[in-house]
Amino acid sequence: MAIVQAPHTAVPAPPRRASRDTGIDFVRALCVLGVVLLHSIMVGVTVTSSGPVFENASDGTGWIAPLSWLLQVMPLFFVIGGFSGLLAYRRMRMRGGTAVAFVAGRLHRLLRPAIFTIAIVGIGLALLTVCGVPAELIATAGFRYGQPLWFLGVFLLCQALLPLLAAAHERAPSLSIGGLASAAIAVDVLRAATGQEGLGFLNLAFVWMTLQQLGFFLADGRIDTLRRRVRATAGFGALFLLAATFATGIYSPDLIENINPPTAALLLVGIAHTSLLSLHRERLERFSRRPRVAAFTGFVTARTMTIYLWHMPVLLLMAGATAVYALTAGVALPALDSAGWWAGRPLWLATALTLTALVAVAFTRFEAQPAPQATGSVPRLVVGALSGLIGVVLLLALGTSVATALIAVALIAGALRLASRARPLPSAGSVALVPA
């Protein structure tokens, strides 16, 4: 990873829109809701003779593939991240800001809420150990908690590289996105040819950076200036190619499977999503200004990372409470994917959303604080970004335990310290997930 000062080239003027694109904000809020709903429905708990067991309720089922077509929103999320990030970066440059200040603000916005979440989860795991909860169950809970953190690591990488990728986009937009997309496809080809599944994890960089780069085109207004027929053709063409890859067995029709590790199928999903978004932006913006819709959008927008970081601990607490109730009351839990299990899903999902919202309100202050301005050198910021990234990867690779949580907290704390000093930036220039 390298973070350098972007060259002082001419910055294309962003399209003339309102100070905030409320339609984009609304779509991002829907993406966050989709992620929480998808993970909520996948968390399952059963009680066996040996005790409670946390399971993925979608394993071996037929409903996860079609559901993933509705709720797999990560490609669109990264497109919107590129859209928002590029506009915020350009506005910062026009105010005289630097790439270092931009990246430092991103690191703080992403890692500050994360450090508190990881620390509290680590304390919770320690308390469970002291209370005599079986080590296997604690390890499973730590693993389940750590799984969604891939997004934090990848988004951190993409945002840290945004000044470099933006400079490449300004010099050669088609070549930059084409190179990234070609690399993503090449990884899939090598993975299939060699049978080495580990190669697929290279696409944690190439796939998501390509989608972020697609968001740059949306921010430029280049996509919206295309004729509606061209945009619609691109979207339907992406869907046709995606269906062809499913039919020929190149990619799985389960889009959840295509995310671990990421495949180039997600690029086609991103093109289809972007086409649909572009075709309906004006309509979405009008709808997003309705009072109730605006209230929902505003609530999620101010707490995007907090909601993402806390929804899985909430789900694990719900699963644990369900297991304890079943054991103490002698009640048999319905088998996963049974009629009884499905009958309880509406209440489960409503409870998950409510508790996640309450927890997000309690911890919003860690995300809402303005990021301090970086005054250190580029190498200092690079080391800080790497330190934060390593802390997240550690939890993904080894699972979340008391020890790994402690190490991750130390690494992220070091990243935050290296990334900045104490002088605050204007809040509009420090938002990581929301257009300034």
Tokens for 277, please give them: 């978004």
Are the C-beta atoms of 161 and 386 separated by less than 8 Å? Answer: no
Measured in degrees and rounded to the nearest 5, phi and psi for residue 334 equal -65, 145
Are the C-beta atoms of 159 and 103 separated by less than 8 Å? Answer: yes
Q: Which residues pair with 196 in a beta bridge?
A: none
User: How much is the pLDDT for 376?
Assistant: 61
Q: In sequence order, which residues have a C-beta less than 8 Å from that of residue 136 and are 6 or more positions away?
A: none
Q: Which residues pair with 372 in a beta bridge?
A: 424
Q: Checking phi first, is residue 358 left (phi over 0); if not, alpha (psi -120 to 50) or beta?
A: alpha
What is the separation, in whole angstroms, between the first and last Cα of the chain? 25
Are the C-beta atoms of 287 and 21 separated by less than 8 Å? Answer: no
Tokens for 116, please give them: 């508190």
What's the chain's average pLDDT? 88
Per-residue pLDDT of the chain (436 residues; tens, 9 = 90+): 444 444 444 444 444 444 578 999 999 999 999 999 999 999 988 887 777 788 888 888 889 999 999 899 999 999 999 999 999 999 999 988 888 889 998 999 999 999 999 999 999 999 999 988 888 888 988 998 998 999 999 999 999 999 999 999 999 999 999 999 999 999 999 999 999 999 999 999 999 999 999 999 999 999 999 999 999 999 999 999 999 999 999 999 999 999 989 999 999 999 999 999 999 999 999 999 999 999 999 999 999 999 999 999 999 999 999 988 888 888 888 889 899 999 999 999 999 999 999 999 999 888 777 766 655 678 888 999 999 999 999 999 898 999 999 999 999 999 998 887 534 444 433 343 443 3
Are the C-beta atoms of 45 and 333 separated by less than 8 Å? Answer: yes
**309: helix, strand or coil:** helix
Measured in degrees and rounded to the nearest 5, phi and psi for residue 55 equal -135, 160
CA atoms lying within 13 Å on the CB side of residue 110: 30
**32: helix, strand or coil:** helix
Q: Select from 83, 71, 73 the least CA-distant residue to 24.
A: 83
Instruction: Give the residue ranges of DSSP H helices in 43-98.
Output: 64-71, 74-94
User: How much is the pLDDT for 421?
Assistant: 55
SS (H, E, C) 372-392: ECCCCCHHHHHHHHHHHHHHH
Whether the bond into 379 is cis, omega within 30 of 0:
no
Measured in degrees and rounded to the nearest 5, phi and psi for residue 52 equal -70, 150
d(CA 270, CA 235): 9
- Which residue, chain included where needed, has tokens 């690079």? 382
- Which residue, chain included where needed, has tokens 């508190």? 116
Please report, to the nearest 10 degrees, the dihedral formed by the alpha carbons of residues 169, 174, 180, 182 taken in order.
-170
Tokens for 395, please give them: 């939890």
Check the CA dihedral 251-252-255-260 and report its sign.
negative
